[in-house]
Chain A
Amino acid sequence: MLKIIVLLIGLALISFIAWWFFGKHAVATETANVTDDIQQIDIDVNGGYSPESVVLKRGVPAVMNFTRRDPSSCLDRVVFPDFGINRELPKGEKQAIQIDTTKPGEFHWACGMDMFHGKLIIK
Chain B
Amino acid sequence: MSIMSRFWISLILSLPMLAEMILHPFGWMLPGGEWTMLVLTTLIMAVSAGPFWQSAWASFKKHHSNMDTLVAIGTATAYFYSVYAMITHQAVFFESAAFVTTFVLLGQVFEERMRHNASNAVEKLVNLQAKEAEVLRNGELVKVPLSEVAVGDLIRVKPGEKIAVDGVITKGSSAVDESMVTGESMPVEKHAGDHVIGSTLNSNGTFMFKAEKVGDETMLSQIVALVKKAQNSHAPIQKLTDQVSNIFVPIVLILSVLTFLVWYVFLGTSVASALIFAVSVVVIACPCALGLATPTALMVGTGRSAKMGILIKNGEVLEAVNDVTTVVFDKTGTITMGKPEVTDIVGNQAQVLSLAASLEANSEHPLASAILAQAKAKGIVPAPVADFQAIEGQGVQANVDGQLAFVGNDKLLVDYSIDEALKKRAVNLQLAAKTVVFVGRGHQVIGLIAIQDAPKPTSKEAIAALKARGLKTVMLTGDNKRVAVAIAEQVGIDAVIADVLPADKADHVAELQKTGKVAFVGDGINDAPALTVADVGIAMGSGTDIAIESGGIVLVKNDLRDVDRALAISQKTFKRIKLNLFWAFVYNVLGIPVAAGIFYGIGLTLSPELAGLAMAFSSLSVVTSSVLLNRAKITSHVNEAV
Please list the residues of chain A having a beta carbon within 8 angstroms of any beta carbon in chain B: 3-4, 6-7, 10-11, 13-14, 17-18, 20-23, 25, 46-48, 50, 52, 69-77, 79-81, 83-86, 112-116
Question: CB of B403 within 8 A of chain A?
Answer: no
**What are the residues of chain B within 8 A of A70 when measuring CB–CB?**
54-55, 58-59
* Contact status of A47 and B67, CB under 8 A, knowing A10-B257, A18-B254: no
User: Could you list 10 further interchain pairs (A-B, Cβ under 8 angstroms) beyond the known A23-B63, A84-B230?
Assistant: A11-B261, A17-B257, A21-B249, A48-B62, A52-B62, A71-B55, A72-B52, A72-B55, A74-B67, A80-B232
Q: How far is the CB of B39 from chain A (nearest CB, A)?
A: 24
Q: Given A21-B65, A46-B58, do A14 and B254 touch, yes or no (CB 8 Å)?
A: yes
Contacts of B605 in A (CB 8 A): none
CB distance B54 to A84 under 8 Å? Answer: no
Counting CB contacts under 8 A, is B51 at the interface? yes
> For the complex, is B291 an interface residue (Cβ under 8 Å from A)?
yes
B257, A86: Cβ atoms under 8 Å? no
Give the Cβ gap from A25 to chain B, nearest Cβ, in Å. 5
Q: In chain B between 294 and 311, which residues have their CB closer than 8 angstroms to a CB of chain A?
A: 295
Question: When the two chains form their complex, are residues A6 and B265 in contact, meaning their CB atoms are under 8 A apart?
Answer: yes
B115 lies within 8 A of A14 (CB): no
Inter-chain CB contacts under 8 Å: number: 121
Task: Check if B232 sits within 8 Å of A86, measured CB to CB.
Answer: yes
Chain A nearest CB from B622 CB (Å) reads 11
Interface CB pairs A-B, < 8 A, 19: A6-B264, A10-B258, A10-B265, A14-B257, A20-B250, A47-B61, A69-B58, A70-B54, A70-B59, A72-B52, A72-B66, A79-B232, A84-B226, A85-B228, A86-B231, A112-B115, A114-B242, A115-B66, A116-B59
Q: Is the CB of B261 within 8 A of A71?
A: no
- Within the assembled complex, what's the spacing in Å between the Cα atoms of A43 and B288? 23
B residues with CB within 8 A of A: 3, 51-52, 54-68, 108, 111-112, 115, 119, 225-226, 228-234, 238, 241-242, 245, 247, 249-250, 253-254, 257-258, 260-261, 264-265, 287-288, 291-292, 295
Contacts of A85 in B (CB 8 A): 228, 232
**Are A113 and B288 in contact (CB-based, < 8 A)?**
yes
What distance in Å separates the Cβ of B438 from its nearest Cβ neighbour in chain A?
48
Task: Kindly identify which residue among A10, A52, A77 contacts B260, using a CB–CB cutoff of 8 Å.
Answer: A10
> From DSSP, what is the main secondary structure of chain B's interface residues?
helix
A49 to chain B, nearest CB (A): 8
A116: B residues at CB distance < 8 A: 59, 64, 66
The residue that A13 contacts in the complex, of B66, B68, B119, B257, with Cβ under 8 A, is B257
**8 Å CB contact of B58 from A22, A47, A52, A80:** A47
A119 CA to B108 CA in the complex, in Å? Answer: 28
Complex: chain A residue closest to B274, CB-CB: A6
State A10–B288 Cα separation when bound (angstroms): 27
Q: CB-nearest residue of chain A relative to B268?
A: A3
In the complex, are the beta carbons of B51 and A6 less than 8 A apart? no
Return B218 CB to nearest CB of chain A, in Å. Answer: 17
Contact A20 B64, CB 8 Å, known A47-B57, A70-B58:
no
User: Closest A-chain residue to B55, C-beta based?
Assistant: A72
- CB A35 to nearest CB in B, in angstroms, measures 26
Q: Which of B66, B115, B247 has the most CB of A within 10 A?
A: B66
Closest CB in chain B relative to A99 CB, distance in Å:
14
